[in-house]
Amino acid sequence: MITSTNRASLYAIQAANKWADAAATSSERISTTLRINHSSDDPSGLMMATTLSAELRSYTSAITNIHSGISAVQMVDASLTSITTYLTNMRTLAVSAASASSATALAAYQTSFSSYRDDIDNVATYTTLHGASLMDGSTTTLDIQAGIASGDSRTLSFSSATAASLGLSALDVSTDASTAITTIDTALETIASYQSKMGVYETLLDARETFANTMVLNKTSAYGNIMDADLAAETTALASAQIGQEAATAVMVQANTISKEIVSYLLQGMTN
């Protein structure tokens, strides 16, 4: 083909190359479903997408942290409900013992009373998170990174709910049921207040989870707007590029054919 002095052919080749590049770009986007496959496709867009991707990963971690906090609070709440049941039963025993005169009955009441007290300690000891008890006084705080910014954390505080911390250790309904009733009433108030605090914590953490999930949804949408290819548009662009390629190729062939015919005509004239 004659292209060095054939301007029409050169223009056709240039156009064919342009359409080939466009077809390659659309084909790649359709194949990967991504609008940006190379940094040169959209440098600023890629930078924004990278930032969004990092934030999305961070929010996912924050949601995991929040779930851990909620689990801890729910465990403590359930354990406090059990302790409330034990204390209620202990109070019933104390009330019964206050009117009993039989030594055998009083001893039986005290045995049951001590059993419930042991159950309270068991619950406090074995309410654990990652091996650490949340209700025996060994773990007093738990920091939850609830957001993606440095310092965006929530501190959950926990109190001891053992029999000793509730003042139950020395109680004996067989000898002083009245003191036992008064002490248990105070313990019930303490547990109720503690349980109320757990309810507040769970409400706050639920709100943070809702916020984090909303941010994940919004940032996922923003990331998709930047990175995701419009497959319908790219399919149309690919078809258009292929048509352009065919047209440019046809023009190039025609231009070269015309040039050859002119050269042949001129050579024929020189030989005549």
The secondary structure element, H or E, covering residue 142 is: strand 141-145
CA distance 63 to 86: 35
Task: Tell me the C-alpha to C-alpha distance, in Å, between residue 57 and each of 51, 52, 153, 180, 229.
Answer: 10, 9, 17, 54, 22
Note the pLDDT tens digit of each residue in 138-157.
999 999 999 999 989 999 99
Helices (H) and strands (E) in the chain, counts: 5, 4
Note the pLDDT tens digit of each residue in 72-92.
999 999 999 999 999 999 999
pLDDT-based confidence at 3, cuts 50/70/90?
very low
Pick the CATH number of 62-227 from 3.40.1800.10, 3.40.50.10330, 3.40.50.2300, 1.20.1330.10: 1.20.1330.10
Say yes or no to pLDDT of 237 above 80.
Answer: no
Write down the pLDDT at residue 215. 95
Write down the pLDDT at residue 172. 97
Say yes or no to pLDDT of 211 above 60.
Answer: yes
Least confident of 16-25, 119-128, 189-198: 16-25
Say yes or no to pLDDT of 94 above 90.
Answer: yes
The secondary structure element, H or E, covering residue 186 is: helix 177-227
Say yes or no to pLDDT of 207 above 70.
Answer: yes
